[in-house]
Amino acid sequence: MANSSKITEKAVNEGDLISDRGKMLARQPSAIALYIPVILQVAFLLAAFACHLNAT
């Protein structure tokens, strides 16, 4: 009986690992979405600077 409870505990631990990995993957797109405005702003500033250099 003690052996089957160990197996159950192991299965529960593996399930926790899988759900943690799923949470990490779910969290990543939101982090990327936070960076999008920053990337766009930097790209816009670089484009404006390039136009400024061209104009002179």
pLDDT of residue 24: 66
Given a cut of 80, whether residue 18 has pLDDT beyond it is no
Given a cut of 90, whether residue 22 has pLDDT beyond it is no
What torsion do the CA atoms of 32, 34, 37, 43 make, to the nearest 10 degrees?
-40
Q: What mean pLDDT do residues 2-28 have?
A: 70
Q: What mean pLDDT do residues 31-56 have?
A: 88
User: d(Cα 48, Cα 42) in Å, to the nearest integer?
Assistant: 10
pLDDT of residue 42: 95
User: d(Cα 2, Cα 8) in Å, to the nearest integer?
Assistant: 10
Given a cut of 80, whether residue 11 has pLDDT beyond it is no
Question: What is the residue-wise DSSP string for 25-36?
Answer: HHHHHHHHHHHH
